[in-house]
Structure 1
Amino acid sequence: MTHLPQFTRSLLHPRYWLTWLGIGLLWLLVLLPYPVIYRFGCFIGRIAMYVMKDRVSIAQRNLQLCFPHKSDAERQELVVKNFESVGMGLMETGMAWFWPDWRVARWFDVSGVEAVKQLLAEKRGILLIGVHFLTLELGARIFGMQTPGIGVYRPNDNPLIDWLQTWGRVRSNKAMLDRKDFKGMVKALKSGEIVWYAPDHDYGPRSSVFVPFFAVDQAATTSGTWMLARMSKACIVPFVPRRKPNGAGYELLVLEPELDIPLGSAEETATWMNKVVEKCILLAPDQYMWLHRRFKTRPEGVPSRY
């Protein structure tokens, strides 16, 4: 497994004091009752719209590209709700890292996990598809409380945040793998483990193919799903951690396992995988990470979409 960051005395150096202050503030905020956290998170998200204007533009452009049939007013309403989710995403990260199990479970309804437990009993490797919802950190925590697995992550450039996010994520999971540790993922899947994987972002031209995604006909999409599924013979299980309206809590929707994955080519698998991702997003479109430059990579000679 990937060597995980450990706490050392160097993380107490004055250069990290401001980060520690932010961590302490987040810890204090998530001690509040959840309805208060919900209102505060949504408020922070609305404030963020005035501070992160470039990200607002990216979200607007992504929604315009993906949903051209929607009116400008409909898309703008979705942007506002999306930024409320951005604020809540910060709160939910603190909840995922600092809340005890009983408090997480109190606010979650879980469905569909029985099929996952059956696959594990059959020693079937599971590629757990967790697309980039803003609720994902908290969703991964509750999923791990049901059936622990192995997370895949990108190490943070800040050593303190890198240690903290790893500590928070292994609270309810077995281990973490660097997203570049492809061999480790295949090995874990072949041994019948659950491996969390997110195939929905634009990871650049290397190991990507151009296939449709919503109304965008040439979206750079990772070929990693094809390689992992082909080499490990794992099945795919998508899951959606969805925030209920008006601070009513959450539901973790574990979707039907996909046992027959089309593996004829990287393009075929990526096209199919994007359809699965679309299905997940449409279950909570206001909670998806639209502020990511999803369509920044273009075929050679094709102008930028931004």
Structure 2
Amino acid sequence: MPKNQILPEFTRQLLHPRYWLLWFGIAFLYLIVLLPYPWISSLGRGLGRFAMRFMTRRKMISRRNIELCFPNMTEAQHEAWMIKNFEATGLAVFETGMAWFWPNWRIEKWCKIQGIDHLDVGISEKRGVLVIGIHFLTLELGARIIGIHRPGVGVYRPHDNKLMDWLQTWGRLRSNKFMLDRRDVKGMIRSLKKGELVWYAPDHDYGPRNSVFAPFFAVEKAATTIGTSILARMANPLLVPFIPKRNDDNQGYTLIVQPPLEGFPTDDEIAAAIFMNQVIEQQILLAPEQYMWLHRRFKTRPSGEASLYQ
């Protein structure tokens, strides 16, 4: 086992009554994903619509993000998009179970991949590959699809709940060689220098530390991590974006791997943030209703500016 492996130990403590409700939820999720995929899809969308009645704060955040990014859309379009986003969010719950519990043959039956050869360019050039993953609601499934074809290094945030931390790590190790804490920048650099594929998501607002402000869609000042710039400068990897796109009419999924990016400005953090946000925008527009709009993407504001979520 690699020394960077983070694999929580399964102990008797995880069978404590405090976890019984969660165990019930895990068992329910496992049983749901045994169903035919069209049934899973219908149940997931229904779950999203049901949850929308109670998740009023997340409804506000989703609608507000869409309004901020696409101000030229009508109010009715914003509302329709928000509803589709909640349907996709409900299905994402079951897609996580699919990513963790489905056997490889079932993943490959419902999940096709385009451009897988773009991940092999790093081998021929003897360079690591920074796989630019974006927070689509299908991200867990996307990571599993890539892992089946080209196993790499997963980057994650340890869960506060010990049982969930064990489960998500176990699930993600089905398609990753090992996992790294997202704060372990040195570990990512080492892995890239060894020629590994490292999954990295630079599209969320991670707070003011190690961030700069750059345009994101119609929002002029969006806090954007400089992590991509650091990794690119220190390890000189190829930057390869991908998107796991849910197809229409219950036709499964297509994971689209883009060609390696060219012209990334490693010597200017603001220019790098602008460049990367433009790349992220292009990926989101391939399936905008499937993006994680429920996240407060613009929670960090420049000093003195009011919150955009009031």
| Same fold per superposition (TM over 0.5) | yes
Q: Contact 1:2 / 1:181 at 8 angstroms: preserved in 2?
A: no
Q: 2:280 aligned to 277, 282, 291, which one?
A: 277
Mapped to 2, the partners of 1:83 and 1:225 lie a distance apart of 29
- Residue 117 of structure 1: aligned partner: 120
Q: Contact 2:130 / 2:239 at 8 angstroms: preserved in 1?
A: yes
2:13 is equivalent to residue 10 of structure 1: yes
- Residue 152 of structure 1: aligned partner: 155
Letter of the 2:54 counterpart: V
- Residue 83 of structure 1: aligned partner: 86
Cα deviation, residue 3, structure 1: 2.9
Equivalent residue of 1:139, what SS? helix
- Residue 66 of structure 1: aligned partner: 69
Equivalent residue of 2:53, what SS? helix
Q: 1:209 aligned to 187, 190, 212, which one?
A: 212
Q: Contact 1:235 / 1:261 at 8 angstroms: preserved in 2?
A: no
2:216 is equivalent to residue 220 of structure 1: no
Letter of the 1:192 counterpart: G
Letter of the 1:126 counterpart: V
Q: Contact 1:235 / 1:260 at 8 angstroms: preserved in 2?
A: no
- Aligned-pair Cα RMSD in Å: 0.9
Cα deviation, residue 115, structure 1: 1.8
Q: Contact 2:152 / 2:177 at 8 angstroms: preserved in 1?
A: yes
- Residue 263 of structure 2: aligned partner: 260
Cα deviation, residue 168, structure 1: 0.4
Letter of the 2:283 counterpart: C
- Residue 47 of structure 2: aligned partner: 44
Tell which deviates more after alignment, 15-24 or 253-262.
253-262
Equivalent residue of 1:51, what SS? coil
Letter of the 1:50 counterpart: R
Letter of the 1:159 counterpart: K
How many correspondences in the alignment?
Answer: 306
Q: Contact 1:211 / 1:218 at 8 angstroms: preserved in 2?
A: yes
Letter of the 2:113 counterpart: V
Q: Contact 2:118 / 2:240 at 8 angstroms: preserved in 1?
A: no
1:233-252 equivalent positions in 2, closer than 5 A: 233-252=236-255
Q: C-alpha offsets along residues 173-206 of structure 1, whole Å, 9 cap, x if unaligned?
A: 1110000101000000111111000000000010
Q: 1:104 aligned to 86, 107, 115, which one?
A: 107
Mapped to 2, the partners of 1:136 and 1:162 lie a distance apart of 17
Q: C-alpha offsets along residues 51-82 of structure 1, whole Å, 9 cap, x if unaligned?
A: 10110100110001000111111111111110
Mapped to 2, the partners of 1:15 and 1:176 lie a distance apart of 27
Equivalent residue of 1:240, what SS? strand
Cα deviation, residue 259, structure 1: 4.1
Letter of the 2:178 counterpart: A
Letter of the 1:12 counterpart: L
Cα deviation, residue 10, structure 1: 1.4
Equivalent residue of 1:302, what SS? coil
Q: C-alpha offsets along residues 102-143 of structure 1, whole Å, 9 cap, x if unaligned?
A: 000000111001121232243211110111000000010001
Q: Contact 1:67 / 1:215 at 8 angstroms: preserved in 2?
A: yes
Equivalent residue of 1:151, what SS? strand
- Residue 140 of structure 2: aligned partner: 137
- Residue 29 of structure 2: aligned partner: 26
Q: What's the TM-score, normalizing by structure 2?
A: 0.97
Q: 1:199 aligned to 183, 196, 202, which one?
A: 202
Cα deviation, residue 2, structure 1: 4.3
Q: What's the TM-score, normalizing by structure 1?
A: 0.98
Cα deviation, residue 172, structure 1: 1.3
Equivalent residue of 1:174, what SS? strand
Mapped to 2, the partners of 1:97 and 1:49 lie a distance apart of 25
Q: Contact 1:2 / 1:178 at 8 angstroms: preserved in 2?
A: no
Equivalent residue of 2:212, what SS? strand
Q: C-alpha offsets along residues 257-287 of structure 1, whole Å, 9 cap, x if unaligned?
A: 1143111211111110000100110011000
Q: Contact 1:41 / 1:90 at 8 angstroms: preserved in 2?
A: yes
